[in-house]
Amino acid sequence: MSKIILTLFIFLQSIDAYALSADEIMKKNEEAKKNKNITTKAYLITGGGGKAQREKEFSWWRKLSSDTVHFKTLTRFHKPAEVKDEGVLFLEDKETEILIYLPAYKKVRRVETAQQSGSFMGSEFSYADITSHQREDYNYKLLKEEKCDAFDCYVIESTPKTEDVIEKTGSARGVVWVRKDNFVDVKAEIFDLEKKPWKKLVAKEIKMIDEANKKWMAMDLKMENLKTGRFTNLKFEKVDVTKIIPDSIFKKTSVGFW
């Protein structure tokens, strides 16, 4: 009997030795979504809270920078008429620079750090939500493991390491559910500066868009504001990862004149 107990103890120790830490899980999560080039058509559909539903159509280009950490993203809006040709350029680095082109005024406006927690084009997504969150900006804690829909998931808590990250995101805490099979997040809860529930994100239609490199992307992201009842669906279609996007698209002059 003692040999059986000893063998079981050694076996359990070996399982624990190979268990992933919260930071390792989030590193795999980051890698699973790190597509080098994405060209796609997208929609922002906002409704709820007693207000009429609105839809905006735009094109989206996202490219991984040469540092293989940060992304450059350009959005160009087509519909409705009041936002036609408006563009938003995201240049991620240690400090993210966001530029908005307003064709009616033929001007480019900078979104300062303190404003990046504000609404992206009238949606429930903030400018900070659109940028890729950098793993090194957060401390992570594995809260538990549980089923989410039909998948086994890790439940990870994130807390910003610095006041700068809190200022940019407007959030002091987050919880994310990460699938065990592919390490893609399927939902998240975002808490405000007082650590009260603020927004909820649900990812659907998660597809492998680059089989060679095993990269994934959610085709439908729903962000719900728990305080106002408003929601926005960010939907993607006609995703192309084969086109090499030229760096010239992401020049600061491109946001207004490309």
pTM of the model: 0.89
Alpha-helical regions (H) of the chain: 2-17, 22-32, 127-130, 163-169, 254-257
For CA atoms 217, 220, 223, 224, give the dihedral sign.
Answer: negative
Q: Which domains are present in the chain?
A: 20-257 (2.50.20.10)
Distance CA 43, CA 57 (A): 5
Helix (H, G, I), strand (E, B) or coil at 119: strand
* pLDDT for the residue 3: 52
Instruction: Label residue 95 exposed, middle or buried (CB < 10 Å: 0-12, 13-18, 19+).
Output: exposed
Please list the ranges in the chain whose pLDDT falls under 70: 1-18, 254-258
> 177: closest CA among 149, 148, 204, 198?
148
Q: Which residue matches tokens 């400090």?
A: 95
* pLDDT for the residue 176: 98
Structure tokens at 113: 């750090």
* pLDDT for the residue 133: 86
Distance CA 55, CA 233 (A): 9
* pLDDT for the residue 4: 54
* pLDDT for the residue 149: 85
Looking only at the bridges linking them, the beta strands covering 185-191 and 197-210 are antiparallel
Distance CA 156, CA 174 (A): 8
* pLDDT for the residue 53: 94
* pLDDT for the residue 172: 96
> 30: closest CA among 162, 179, 132?
132
Burial state string for 147-165 with b = 16 or more CB within 10 A and e = fewer than 16: ebeebebbbbbbbbeeeeb
* pLDDT for the residue 13: 41
Q: For 170, what's the count of Cα atoms within 13 Å in the CB-facing half-sphere?
A: 16
* pLDDT for the residue 106: 86
147-167 pLDDT, tens digit per residue, is: 998 899 999 999 999 999 999
